[in-house]
């Protein structure tokens, strides 16, 4: 006789029932962790593959299967919670199983998976074209968070050794304090993203910006008569401006000309001419010219968005494109500068339509709050990784995994034994451990580390992004007098403006090259496969190529050709 006065066959049948379900649960946890690892790596550190069809398919599949997998895992664990009966040789084997630590580990895994999903999910304000409503993004994530939170609350208050109803008295504080912070951070992240999306989609600086720019350029067309001034394109401040609705868009109230060349003086509106007047000694440790170029690229990005909302150049009256190009791009002998401005413009466009970062700038306090939540998530995840590492080290050094499994069961094959001797039924002689605790600790610890990496990139996006630099520069322009008197503000501004991150650099000064001629034809399988899948060689673009691009535009013949100017304006 073996454990609990049961035969070897009875123990084998009981163990086969428990081990089979545990194996399926562990396989799902490990597979989903690997999938999330791939998605976090692509979403955070492989931007060029983020919008690949295969990546979208994997993310859609992982998102769709999350709820069924979670429900299956929880129901499987729940079926083995409490009294378990297994049929063996026409005999019913009674048992009692506890899955307390295992189910809490599953809840931590579920929260980390959803936090990673929120980080790599894009919520874009889009273009509020013709005043149409924009559908709510990320609805699946919201449903997943609500359902998972319900499961956590249900099991926290349901009690493991009580058959009564849900009560806060049954709550396991030790495990609850480990699980609840993750779900609190998940809900906070979701609410913050939805609030940022809601504010940005209805903001004149984001969702409704093309209509504002159209009306502004129509107004500017009548005001701008001189060809010696740079057109005062809007950088920021649309939401602080008094406007009125017009058939073609929005128009600014009290638009007035100034004798000193300033075209706009309306509340806190920041235009390119104001940024252009920044002195070189304001930011001694950072290139003022580069700051001006970033702000100018941001203004051009807003003009480019008008093309995405089906507004043509003629509609918003941008007739000074040739003067603007000559003033900024073509008179500079440095060929890197115009290419850099174009790269910044396209990076702003890429971020707006493929990133959640821009929506956070609809309010000045949203980036600070988002960074704070990311820091809290990092701290709690690092704490969990530390606890997991310590637990694995202790288990490995003491050999506890052989005595500590994912779940423990008590069994006895004498029907009346449990009722008559309940204190003996739950003794160690009747206990069997199932599963390996490493399957609980290792995947979830790895997932917590992946969340830390995703949060690191999230914070780097705010600190090193050109969006942050643009809004800081414009804040300095609006509050120049007070910022110049504050030493710590100037120091903070200088530190942020000097930050660069290669992970956020969408523009790489290289070209992909491959040979289209087979110099050495071969019929062996490897060269044939190489011809089907050409290997691209990344080569740095020579300076001579950049010079050749702008040489014809700088020539007098180009400037004197009106059709060339019109063609160039159309392409802008």
- For the stretch 482-507, pLDDT in tens is 777 777 777 777 777 777 776 666 66
Q: Which of 22-26, 32-36, 85-89, 349-353 has the highest mean pLDDT?
A: 349-353
Rg (CA), the chain: 31
Determine the pLDDT at residue 374. 93
Task: Using the CB atoms, write b or e for 146-175: b if 16+ within 10 Å.
Answer: eebbebbeebbbbbeeeeeeeeeebbbeeb
Long-range contacts of 93-96 (CB under 8 A, 24+ apart): 93/6, 93/10, 93/13, 93/14, 93/411, 93/413, 94/411, 94/412, 94/413, 94/415, 94/418, 95/14, 95/409, 95/410, 95/411, 96/409, 96/410, 96/411, 96/425, 96/426
Q: Does 452 score more than 70 pLDDT?
A: yes
Determine the pLDDT at residue 167. 59
Q: Does 8 score more than 50 pLDDT?
A: yes
Determine the pLDDT at residue 347. 87
Per domain, the residue ranges of the chain are 3-202+366-459, 204-355+465-572
More confident residue, 164 or 171: 171
Q: Does 131 score more than 60 pLDDT?
A: no
């Amino acid at each position: 006789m073996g454990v609990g006065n049961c035969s070897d066959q009875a123990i084998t049948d009981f163990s086969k029932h428990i081990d089979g379900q545990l194996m399926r649960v562990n396989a799902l946890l490990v597979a989903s962790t690997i999938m999330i690892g791939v998605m976090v790596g692509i979403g955070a550190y492989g931007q060029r593959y983020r919008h690949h069809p295969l990546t979208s398919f994997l993310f859609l599949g992982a998102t769709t299967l999350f709820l069924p997998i979670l429900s299956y895992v929880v129901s499987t664990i729940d079926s083995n919670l409490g009294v378990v009966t297994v049929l063996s040789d026409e005999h019913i084997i009674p048992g009692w199983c506890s899955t307390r630590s295992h189910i809490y580990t599953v809840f931590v895994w579920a929260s980390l998976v959803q936090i990673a999903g929120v980080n790599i999910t894009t919520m874009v304000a889009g273009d509020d074209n013709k005043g149409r409503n924009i559908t709510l993004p990320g609805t699946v994530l919201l449903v997943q968070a609500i359902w998972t939170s319900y499961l956590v609350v249900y099991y926290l208050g349901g009690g493991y050794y009580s058959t009564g109803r849900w009560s806060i008295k049954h709550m396991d504080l030790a495990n609850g304090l480990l699980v609840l912070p993750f779900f609190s951070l998940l809900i906070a992240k979701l609410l913050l993203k939805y609030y940022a999306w809601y504010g940005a989609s209805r903001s004149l600086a984001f969702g409704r910006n093309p209509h504002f720019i159209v009306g502004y350029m129509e107004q500017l067309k009548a005001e701008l008569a001189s060809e010696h001034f740079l057109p005062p394109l809007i950088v920021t401040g649309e939401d602080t401006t008094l406007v009125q609705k017009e058939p073609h868009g929005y128009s600014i109230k009290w638009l007035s000309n100034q004798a000193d060349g300033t075209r706009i003086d309306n509340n806190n509106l920041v235009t390119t001419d104001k940024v252009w007047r920044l002195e070189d000694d304001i930011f001694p440790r950072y290139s003022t010219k580069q700051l001006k170029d970033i702000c100018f690229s941001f203004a051009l990005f807003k003009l480019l968005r008008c093309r995405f909302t089906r507004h043509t150049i003629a509609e918003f009256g941008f007739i000074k494109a040739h003067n603007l190009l000559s003033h900024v791009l073509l008179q500079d002998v440095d060929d890197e500068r115009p290419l850099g401005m174009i790269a910044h413009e396209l990076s702003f466009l890429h971020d707006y339509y493929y990133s959640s970062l821009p929506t956070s700038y609809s309010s000045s306090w949203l980036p600070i709050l988002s960074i704070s939540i990311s820091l809290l998530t990092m701290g709690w995840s690092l704490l969990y990784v530390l606890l997991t590492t310590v637990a694995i080290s202790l288990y490995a050094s003491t050999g506890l995994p052989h005595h500590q499994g994912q779940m423990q069961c008590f069994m006895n094959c004498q029907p009346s034994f449990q009722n008559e001797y309940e204190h003996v039924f739950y003794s160690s002689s009747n206990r069997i451990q199932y599963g390996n605790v490493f399957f609980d600790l290792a995947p979830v610890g790895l997932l917590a580390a992946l969340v830390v990496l995703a949060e690191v990139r999230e914070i780097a996006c705010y600190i090193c992004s050109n969006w942050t630099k643009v809004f800081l520069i414009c804040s300095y322009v609006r509050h120049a007098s007070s910022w110049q008197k504050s030493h710590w503000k100037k120091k903070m501004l200088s530190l942020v403006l000097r930050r660069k991150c290669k992970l956020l650099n969408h523009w790489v000064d290289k070209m992909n090259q491959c040979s289209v001629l087979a110099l050495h034809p071969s019929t062996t399988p490897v060269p044939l496969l190489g011809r089907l899948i050409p290997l691209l060689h990344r080569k740095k673009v020579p300076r001579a190529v950049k010079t050749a691009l702008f040489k014809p535009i700088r020539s007098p013949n180009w400037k004197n050709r009106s059709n060339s100017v019109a063609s160039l304006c159309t392409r802008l």
